[in-house]
């Protein structure tokens, strides 16, 4: 296992992966946890991950899959007391250091999950349509349709906000 190669990959990819996951999940702390978990899994599977056509996409997909696994596990847990219940919708947490405008992040949260995932891979990781489709397990035309709808929705909201 080439530790130096992985360290270079981590240094070069971490911020982009964090921005992509943050765009998809909308919660800074959750995104950081998911990306850390995904990089840990990448380290343990580095010989396989390094051969992936887009290793940063592997990180983001793994992070998003981990989120689903955590959510399923948490959903089955039974609360023993009525202590503090935190809603799934995150508060306006700080997004400093990610390069994401808080207003844009709020708009991204309003998009359907698949559209956020497509934005994460196509815009934040700069993957092409074919690679995005392969990573998400959907048809390239579906990627194009989701991206088009997401951009249209974001554009409409941004134009409305600027006109106000």
What pTM was estimated for this model as a whole? 0.70
Q: How far is CA 101 from the centre of its chain?
A: 16
- Considering the chain, what percentage of its residues have pLDDT values greater than 90? 59
Return the CATH number at 56: 1.20.140.160
Round to whole Å and give the CA distance between 144 and 123.
12
Q: Which among 39, 33, 32, 71 has a CA at the least distance from the CA of 58?
A: 39
Residue 152 confidence (pLDDT): 93
Residue 124, domain member (yes or no): yes
For residue 32, what are the contacts with CB-CB under 8 A and spacing of at least 6? 18
Residue 90, domain member (yes or no): no
Number of domains in the chain: 1
């Amino acid at each position: 296992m080439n530790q130096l190669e992985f360290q270079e990959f981590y240094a070069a990819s971490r911020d982009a992966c964090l921005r992509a996951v943050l765009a998809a999940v909308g919660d800074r702390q959750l995104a950081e946890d998911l990306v850390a978990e995904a990089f840990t899994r990448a380290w343990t599977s580095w010989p396989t991950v390094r051969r992936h056509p887009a290793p940063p996409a592997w990180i983001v997909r793994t992070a998003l899959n981990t989120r689903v696994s955590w959510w399923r596990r948490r959903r089955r847990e039974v609360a023993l007391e009525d202590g503090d219940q935190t809603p799934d919708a995150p508060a306006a947490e700080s997004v400093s250091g990610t390069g994401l405008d808080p207003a844009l992040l709020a708009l991204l949260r309003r998009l359907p999950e698949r559209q956020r995932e497509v934005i994460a891979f196509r815009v934040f990781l700069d993957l092409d349509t074919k690679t995005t489709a392969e990573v998400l397990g959907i048809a390239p035309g579906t990627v194009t349709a989701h991206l088009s709808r997401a951009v249209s929705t974001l554009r409409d909201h941004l134009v409305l906000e600027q006109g106000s």
